[in-house]
Amino acid sequence: MTIRNALISVYHKQGLDRIIDLLQSHNINILSTGGTQSYIESKGVKVQAVEGITGYPSILDGRVKTLHPAVFGGILARRTDDHLSQLGQHDIVPIDLVIVDLYPFAKTVAELDDHQQIIEKIDIGGISLIRAAAKNYESVLVISSQDQYTALEEILDQGAETDLQTRQSYARKAFLESTRQDLAIVNYLDGQIGDTEEFRAGFRPKTPLRYGENPHQEASYHGEMTEVFDQLHGKAISYNNLVDIDAAIRLIAELWDGQPASAILKHTNSCGVAVRDQLADAWKAALAGDPVSAFGGIFVVNKKVDVPTATAMNEIFFEVVIAPGYEEEALTILKKKKNRIILDLKTPHLSKYSFKQLLNGVIVQGYDQKVETKKDLTLATNQAASDQEIDDLLFANVCAKHLKSNTIALVKNGQLIGMGCGQTSRVDALKQAITKAKGFGFSLKGAVMASDAFFPFKDCVEIAAKAGISAVLQPGGSIRDQESIDCCNENGMSMYMTGTRHFKH
């Protein structure tokens, strides 16, 4: 099919100049309206105004411009004798190329809080043009997004000819654009009226990954990673990398505005977390928590990486480092390993909801965004904790929240010194945490303990007391809470209840 007539009406003008020049070089008649028409004319290119073929001006504050048989007839007509004859009877020009993109509705929702302005960004004419052209892909090429401009340039460079397979491919992309726009609108209106009747999700673009959790599994990522971070160095990010990166960012988000903090993760679980006055010291303390598991891990910090921190990190092998910036010399140090993935974190604030495919459906939940503070703690024992112990309890609670259940986190002086996670019993999780702490040379005397869920029996408190742990944090809620409280009192320990469970599966 040869392109002879093109309709252009776009929100994004950037990248359009060369397309306009190519259309002109092929003597393709250009129809346009509004701001796009003015833009094309400013380039000295002749344009036929849509109002000139419809006989109607743009009305209702621009809400109605192209919705007319003279436009849609030209797009929807099959290139059969019957349809072409009808176009001729009504002086309608067949349109072979439609270049239309949509108002950035999702971006508008993110940036504005004015309901009427948001509603005005619901595209009617544009979406109708796109869908009409996509439906008639046997005769029309539709360009529905700015990121397709370069590909259109190549088509025009090769003679303004298109085959059916190409037009069908772009029709599919057009319906995807339409679907994403509708999804963004419905999600916005759901938020306005507080109603969600069905699960909907749309993420773009698709990034193929080398493989999934294992080499025999296919995988891809759907979304804009660059909205969260920029990759400054290293090999392509893998499926497992992404899962760990997400876990690392969600953990560091809870420590974002506090002291310099560092965490080391393996298989989404933190094996080292620490806060200190200097970032390098926080890193060294996190590493000391489990230097064995740190090998090949994911490193994340909440401050710009300086030279002392980069130098210390560079001493061991790791897959990924995530930070909100790097000093120039620090970045040079970290780049010494060619495959090392270095990410510049733009924001620690990720999506508020998670979903997972199960059975023949999907489960959806809000992420666990509850962050306990001192005012959320209820003293349950005779003995109160010191200020340092309170700080450590809250820190341990953050660590436990981001470990797989059942979990116990042991903390001392702002450092995770032992953790047990993914265990089928809380006793096993505690024993694992104590074994790890002692194995790496930590004294548990004066350490604190946090549990992601309540203690069904007093056995964990008894084990903790024998190990030298001085303070305990747990949600509470067991019918045997009093037994654990009594055990703490008998051993001179403090216990605080939060009332909030933090299971993670």
At residue 336, the pLDDT reads 94
Backbone angles phi, psi at 285, to 5 degrees: -70, -40
SS3 annotation, 299-357: EEECCCECHHHHHHHCCCCEEEEEECCECHHHHHHHCCCCCCEEEEECCCCCCCEEEEE
Angle at which helices 149-157 and 17-25 cross, to 10°: 20
At residue 201, the pLDDT reads 67
**pTM, whole model, 2 decimals?**
0.75
Catalytic residue among 13, 26, 83, 267: 267
CA–CA distances in Å: residue 280 to residues 44, 51, 314: 60, 66, 12
What residues does 471 pair with on adjacent strands?
448, 494
Token output for 210: 């080398």
Residue type, 93: V
> Is residue 267 annotated as part of the catalytic site, yes or no?
yes
Catalytic residue among 13, 26, 83, 135: 135
What residues does 299 pair with on adjacent strands?
264, 321
14 with 148: CB under 8 angstroms? Answer: no
**Any idea of the CA torsion for 236, 241, 242, 246, to the nearest 10 degrees?**
-140
What residues does 449 pair with on adjacent strands?
410, 472
Say which residue the tokens 């950037």 belong to.
Answer: 14
Nearest alpha-carbon partner for 268 in 233, 291, 241: 241
Q: Which helix (H) or strand (E) holds 379?
A: strand 378-379
- Report the distance separating Cα 7 and Cα 98, nearest Å: 5
* 324 Cβ contact partners less than 8 Å away, ≥ 6 residues apart: 302, 303, 304, 344, 345, 346, 348
Q: How many C-beta atoms surround the C-beta of residue 164 within 10 A?
A: 11
Say which residue the tokens 């666990």 belong to.
Answer: 368
Angle at which helices 459-467 and 481-490 cross, to 10°: 20
- Report the distance separating Cα 344 and Cα 272, nearest Å: 21
CA–CA distances in Å: residue 240 to residues 243, 322, 364: 5, 15, 22
Looking only at the bridges linking them, the beta strands covering 261-266 and 408-411 are: unpaired
Write out the DSSP string of 35-89.
Answer: HHHHHHHHTT---EEHHHHHS---BTTTTBSS-SHHHHHHHH--SSHHHHHHHHH
In the chain, the N- to C-terminal Cα span, in Å, equals: 55
> Is residue 135 annotated as part of the catalytic site, yes or no?
yes
Buried b (16+ CB within 10 A) or exposed e, 108-119: bbeeeeeeeebe
Token output for 391: 């700080």
355 with 362: CB under 8 angstroms? Answer: yes
Q: Is the dihedral of CA 357, 358, 360, 362 positive or negative?
A: negative
Judged by DSSP in three states, 284 sits in helix
300 with 263: CB under 8 angstroms? Answer: yes
What residues does 265 pair with on adjacent strands?
270, 298
Token output for 14: 């950037």
pLDDT in tens, the chain (505 residues): 788 888 998 888 888 889 888 888 888 888 888 888 888 888 888 888 888 777 777 777 777 767 788 888 889 988 888 888 888 888 888 899 999 988 777 777 777 777 887 787 777 788 889 999 999 999 999 999 888 999 888 888 888 888 899 989 999 999 888 888 888 787 777 765 555 556 666 666 788 998 999 999 999 998 889 989 999 999 999 999 999 999 999 999 999 999 999 999 999 999 999 999 999 999 999 999 999 999 999 999 999 999 999 999 999 999 999 999 999 999 999 999 999 999 999 989 888 888 888 898 888 888 898 999 999 999 999 999 999 999 999 999 999 999 999 999 999 999 999 999 999 999 999 999 999 999 999 999 999 999 999 999 999 999 999 999 999 999 999 999 999 999 999 999 999 999 999 999 9
Q: Which helix (H) or strand (E) holds 378?
A: strand 378-379
At residue 352, the pLDDT reads 82
